């Protein structure tokens, strides 16, 4: 009975917050952006957390002398980024005013990400070891930009916050011990480096395809990219796949989406 009451309280708490915290971070009517999101924490709060993590990473890379060591590679990434950023306003007009940055880290890791606010990081290994074309780089960058544009990290943090708030209410009402409450509220690292949900990944795939197609990159490169990633995962799984699981289903979904975005590319 106590378990049922706790569960009911959690559901009621989260539902009440969802009623006041559901909105969308992007324009409606664009492919991949019509879902309402639970946004209980402010964008400014997420930006602050993100900036702190990003600046720490940059400083560590500078200290190790592995930041932006290949000028030609950095210029290549900046060129691709500019084309993609120019298309971001189709989803949200304020994106063009973000303080976009592109950096590289010299490392054999197969990894890349875009943090909230437009902080783009590529590890040299993902470009060199997979021998990525510009279009395949655009597929990665567009997908990662989509996570930032849709504020998926903010959404995951909000979801965790809702769960913890509900747990706090349950602990107060039903006398859960501190240990029980801590165990129940354990949820990783606030969503910044945790695996994205299937829903978020599907959105990022769709939005990323639109961005790259409108920027003039063949969306079929997204399929060839994930095939390369799938092959790379046969040995030691790449760091990139810790938050972006690869699968045959994903490749099939991308192939099914391509006809929808191909007109953007052809135009």
- Any domain includes 95: yes
- Residue 199, in any domain of the structure: yes
190/25: higher pLDDT: 25
Distances (CA, A) of 169 to 11, 14, 235: 11, 11, 45
Q: How confident is residue 236, by pLDDT bands cut at 50, 70 and 90?
A: low
CA pair distance 145, 133, nearest whole angstrom: 18
Give the total number of structural domains in the chain: 1
Q: If you average pLDDT over each of 160-174, 212-226, 245-259, which comes out highest?
A: 212-226
Q: What is the mean pLDDT of residues 217-227?
A: 97
The whole-angstrom separation of Cα 63 and Cα 267 is 45
Q: Looking at the domain assignment, is residue 32 inside a domain?
A: no
- Which domain, by its residues, includes 225? 42-169+183-266
- Mean of the per-residue pLDDT values for the chain? 80
Counting residues of the chain whose pLDDT is more than 90, the rounded percentage is 49
- Evaluate whether residue 23 is within a structural domain: no
Residue 25 lies in a domain: no
- Catalytic residue of the set 136, 144, 201, 203: 144
Residue 164's pLDDT band (cuts 50, 70, 90): low
Q: Is 89 known to be catalytic? A: no
Angle at the Cα of 16 from the Cα atoms of 13 and 21, rounded to 5 degrees? 120
Looking at the domain assignment, is residue 36 inside a domain? no
Measured CA to CA, the distance from residue 262 to residue 267 in angstroms comes to 9
Domain for residue 64, yes or no? yes
Q: Is residue 92 part of a domain?
A: yes
Question: What average pLDDT score do residues 44-65 get?
Answer: 91
């Amino acid at each position: 009975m106590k378990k049922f009451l706790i569960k009911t309280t959690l559901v009621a708490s989260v539902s009440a917050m969802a009623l006041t915290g559901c909105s969308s971070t992007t324009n409606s009517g664009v492919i991949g952006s019509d879902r309402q999101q639970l946004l209980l924490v402010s964008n400014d709060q997420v930006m602050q957390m993100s900036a702190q993590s990003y600046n720490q990473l940059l400083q560590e890379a500078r200290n190790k002398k592995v930041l932006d060591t290949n000028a030609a590679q950095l210029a290549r990434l900046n060129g691709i980024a500019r084309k993609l950023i120019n298309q971001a306003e189709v989803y949200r007009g304020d994106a063009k005013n973000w303080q976009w940055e592109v950096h590289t880290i010299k490392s054999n890791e197969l990894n890349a990400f875009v943090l909230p606010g437009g902080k783009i990081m590529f590890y040299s290994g993902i470009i060199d070891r997979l021998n990525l074309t510009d279009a395949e780089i655009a597929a990665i960058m567009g997908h990662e930009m989509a996570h930032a544009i849709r504020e998926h990290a903010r959404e995951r943090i909000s979801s965790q916050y809702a769960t913890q708030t509900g747990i706090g209410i349950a602990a107060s009402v039903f006398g859960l011990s501190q240990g029980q409450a801590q165990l129940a509220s354990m949820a990783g690292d606030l969503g910044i480096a945790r695996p994205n949900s299937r829903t978020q990944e599907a959105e990022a795939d769709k939005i990323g395809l639109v961005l790259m197609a409108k920027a003039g990159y063949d969306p079929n490169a997204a399929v060839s990219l994930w095939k390369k990633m799938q092959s790379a995962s046969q040995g030691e799984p790449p760091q990139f796949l810790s938050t972006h699981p690869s699968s045959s289903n994903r490749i099939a979904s991308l192939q099914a989406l391509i006809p929808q975005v191909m007109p953007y590319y052809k135009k």
